[in-house]
Structure 1
Amino acid sequence: MTRPALPASSAERVSRSWWRSNQRRLAPWLFLAPGMIMFAVYVIIPIFQSMWISFYDWDGLGEKIWIGLDNYRELLDDDAFYTSLKNNVIWLVLYLLAIPAGLMIAIFLNQNVWGMRLYKSLFFFPFVISQVVVGLMFSWFYAPDFGLFYRLIELLTGQGIAVLADERYVTYGIIAAGLWPQIAYVMILYLTGLNNVAPDQVEAARLDGARGWRMLWYVILPQLRPATFIAVVVTVIGALRSFDLVSIMTDGGPYGSSRVLSFYMYEQALSEYGYRMGYGAAIAVVLFAIMMVFISGFIWKMWRDEAER
């Protein structure tokens, strides 16, 4: 036996009543929906597409040929892949220096002294510069014969060093260029966090005799955990996706010694040397897995620390 249809006015009242009773629960999801859809379309779906493409031999235009795990097996015997992986590890270790450096600068700038706005502008300046400009500036800085760094080393030791042309130093030279804006970014995160530090806790710690490192370690840093979490995540991601500076400053040279995984992926998948979309996708999957291991580990540690409090 079917229920009789409600009159139009009654149906409208029921609809309005249902919306009012569920408005608080549904409104946040309606605001989040556009961002979640964009994130799914441009991040989540491409991740799974990359994983799927990594099982094929494909030039990006022709027919895909299923080869299973052959791309991953080839990676295990690829010396260029291991060079790129080693350079990424060096990038990751040295890039983390941006966190304590940014914290120290933020503490210095979080003072009310004359001229502090000028100092903040100078330290903020590297963050607003394009990575292309940073790469060109440091390329000139390291340039043989006329670069400032080359001239200084020549003045001190009698012989200059062509950093970007030497396999021993090229990766460290590019990392130094990347650290300059990254430290500025971390500094901004910590400056924001320092503005939210509870002054009553600082005053109470001073009354108890806390000064210097004790104040920083036991009072300031625990309140900066959200800023530290964001700083670590963006620094790890920045170190592992370090493509632009490598491309601008050395194009992977000399002799491929400055390659990183993101640049090697580009070389194999999209440059004139490759057009191997499947192999490039396999490199991307490995890079994504490494990134997720580090970030997931740090998220788990943060969650465990919060649960123990």
Structure 2
Amino acid sequence: MTSSTDQSRRSWWARNQVRAAPWLFLAPGIAFFALYVIIPIVQSFHISVYRWDGLGEARYVGMQNYERLFDDPAFYTSLWNNLRWLLLYLLAIPGGLFIALFLNQQVRGIRLYKSLFFFPFVISQVVVGLVFAWFYNPSIGLFNPLIGLFGLGPMNILGNPNTVTYGIIAAGLWPQIAYCMILYLTGLNAVDPEQVEAARLDGAKGWKMLWYVILPQLRPATFIAVVVTVIGALRSFDMISVMTSGGPFGSSRVLAYYMFEVSLSEYGFRMGYGAAIAVILFLIMLVYIAFFLWRMWREERGY
């Protein structure tokens, strides 16, 4: 009986090892993804319907945390700043593409140029924030002397509620453009030279070559660049924390930073309220990326 059982087990593995082997390799990654991504997301939804300070007993309040969000001016300020981050941060994608097209050429000193453009990518976001905070400093920074060359008056970028968010976004774009540049440089290495040569023989050049021949082959790189850029824009935190701490007067807050403030900072450890903000941020990110995936799927299917 035992030998027949062992034989059936061996025969099952012999029949299914091709299909089972990939899942065995993926199992550790799936386990870590579930532990550090899926389970925290579910916990955030769960905590968002409670009033909890993180230490004492949690009290169920239903949708009260979400109802309070829609009467909270700080939430709307953070949401509007996130939308500005999202729209302007996408400039990193065309910026990275055109720098990659320039660096993909065989010109003298190209290695030096690649190193200079790659440099922001390897710097910590905290360091970038500190550098730009000094750059914008109205007393000792270089920003005011530079705009003075064009006849513009001195400006306190980080001290003005109307300009502070744009100043931080400009600082964040510097390393993000470098990241998109790397993605597109990798994609350009996979461009089919035969298609390029055939298009050149047909008279395609310049923008037509880029639009009809190069960009369609860069769709995988574009997809990754969009997803990473959107996620980076919506979860922006470190640059704001280093450069302004949400100021002046809370005008540079985004949802991620406001979530930190209400959960772990001066607002009294309101974990349920912070989890509700996290859920809203997650849903915005999910809808945007799902829409982009749907659009790419339709394009690939030819709809």
Q: In structure 2, how many angstroms separate the alpha carbons of the residues matched to 1:158 and 1:101?
A: 26
1:138 corresponds, among 118, 125, 132, to 132
Match of 2:102 in 1: 108
One-letter code aligned to 1:305: E
- Please tell me whether residue 308 in structure 1 is matched to residue 297 in structure 2: no
- Please tell me whether residue 231 in structure 1 is matched to residue 225 in structure 2: yes
One-letter code aligned to 2:9: S
1:179-210 CA-partner distances (Å, limit 9, x unpaired): 00000000000001100000000000000000
Tell me the secondary structure at the aligned position of residue 112 of structure 1: coil
1:19-63 CA-partner distances (Å, limit 9, x unpaired): 111110100000000000110111011101101100010000000
One-letter code aligned to 1:81: F
Tell me the secondary structure at the aligned position of residue 31 of structure 1: helix
One-letter code aligned to 1:223: Q
Deviation at 1:145? 1.4
One-letter code aligned to 1:198: D
Match of 1:3 in 2: none
Q: Which shifted more, 218-227 or 10-19?
A: 10-19
Match of 1:117 in 2: 111
Match of 2:178 in 1: 184
- Please tell me whether residue 260 in structure 1 is matched to residue 251 in structure 2: no
1:45-103 CA-partner distances (Å, limit 9, x unpaired): 11011011000100000000111110111011100000000100100110000010000
Percent of pairs with identical residues = 70
One-letter code aligned to 1:99: I
1:277 corresponds, among 271, 274, 277, to 271
Q: In structure 2, how many angstroms separate the alpha carbons of the residues matched to 1:155 and 1:218?
A: 41
- Going from structure 1 to structure 2, the CA distance change for 1:81 and 1:220 (only over 3 Å counts) comes to same
Tell me the secondary structure at the aligned position of residue 157 of structure 1: coil
Name structure 2 gaps, 5 residues minimum.
none
Deviation at 1:18? 1.7
1:91 corresponds, among 82, 85, 89, to 85
Q: In structure 1, how many angstroms separate the alpha carbons of the residues matched to 2:51 and 2:148?
A: 50
Deviation at 1:155? 4.6
Deviation at 1:236? 0.4
Deviation at 1:158? 6.0
Name structure 1 gaps, 5 residues minimum.
1-5
Q: Which shifted more, 244-253 or 11-20?
A: 11-20
Structure 1 residues 71-82: aligned runs within 5 Å: 71-82=65-76
Match of 1:68 in 2: 62
One-letter code aligned to 2:212: Y
Q: In structure 1, how many angstroms separate the alpha carbons of the residues matched to 2:146 and 2:204?
A: 43
One-letter code aligned to 2:31: I
Q: In structure 2, how many angstroms separate the alpha carbons of the residues matched to 1:234 and 1:160?
A: 35
Deviation at 1:150? 2.0
Q: In structure 2, how many angstroms separate the alpha carbons of the residues matched to 1:7 and 1:49?
A: 45
Deviation at 1:111? 1.2
Asked whether the 8 Å contact 1:102–1:190 carries over to 2, the reply is: yes
- Please tell me whether residue 167 in structure 1 is matched to residue 161 in structure 2: yes
Structure 1 residues 197-236: aligned runs within 5 Å: 197-236=191-230
Tell me the secondary structure at the aligned position of residue 248 of structure 2: coil
Tell me the secondary structure at the aligned position of residue 246 of structure 2: coil
- Please tell me whether residue 24 in structure 1 is matched to residue 57 in structure 2: no
Deviation at 1:15? 2.1
Tell me the secondary structure at the aligned position of residue 30 of structure 1: helix
Deviation at 1:144? 1.2
Q: In structure 2, how many angstroms separate the alpha carbons of the residues matched to 1:28 and 1:274?
A: 47
Normalising by the residue count of structure 2, what TM-score does the alignment of the two structures yield?
0.98
Q: In structure 1, how many angstroms separate the alpha carbons of the residues matched to 2:124 and 2:293?
A: 30
1:201-250 CA-partner distances (Å, limit 9, x unpaired): 00000000000000000000000001101100000000000000000000
One-letter code aligned to 1:142: Y
One-letter code aligned to 2:64: D
Deviation at 1:271? 1.2
Deviation at 1:146? 1.2
Which is higher, the Rg of structure 1 or of structure 2? 1
Normalising by the residue count of structure 1, what TM-score does the alignment of the two structures yield?
0.96
Q: In structure 1, how many angstroms separate the alpha carbons of the residues matched to 2:246 and 2:190?
A: 42
2:46 corresponds, among 52, 66, 77, to 52
Deviation at 1:112? 1.6
